[in-house]
Amino acid sequence: MKEIKRLPESELEIMQIIWKEPAPVSRTVIEYALNKTHPLAATTILTLLTRLCEKGFLSLKKEGRTNLYEPLITEKDYLASESRSFLNRLFNGSIANFAAALCDSGIKKEEVEELKRLLEKGEL
């Protein structure tokens, strides 16, 4: 898997909106979704979208006066990269150390059973 750069929160929030919407996505769709949580100026959104294009997360297609954005990196690939990075940074790449920390954090029995089920099915 190629290395995927970690995104700042503001850019990640935009990507999460784009991943949820059917592609391609316009700035107005993103702006509408952001207004539900915290409004950003249109110019700020455009700046973030430009950065995401420059980083290789999005492609840009112009349709008349509208810019349309499509993800070049899937949410699944981004999450896998971030998970591996998290594991490496905090637990020296050890899933066992991560599991021990989860147990120390008071993980619920139901959550342990869910993890066990996922491991047995090979989904982790």
Domain ranges of the chain: 9-71, 75-121
Topology adopted by domain 9-71 = Arc Repressor Mutant, subunit A (1.10.10)
Q: Write the pLDDT tens digit of every residue in 84-115.
A: 888 889 898 888 888 888 788 888 888 888 88
Query: b/e per residue, 53-89, with b = 16+ CB within 10 A?
Result: eeeebbeeeeeeeebbbebebeeeebeebeeeeeeee
Q: Which two tokens stand for residue 8?
A: 């700042």
What's this model's pTM, rounded to 2 decimal places? Answer: 0.81
Is the Cβ–Cβ distance between 59 and 69 less than 8 Å?
A: yes
Q: Write the pLDDT tens digit of every residue in 35-76.
A: 888 889 999 999 999 999 999 999 999 999 999 999 999 999
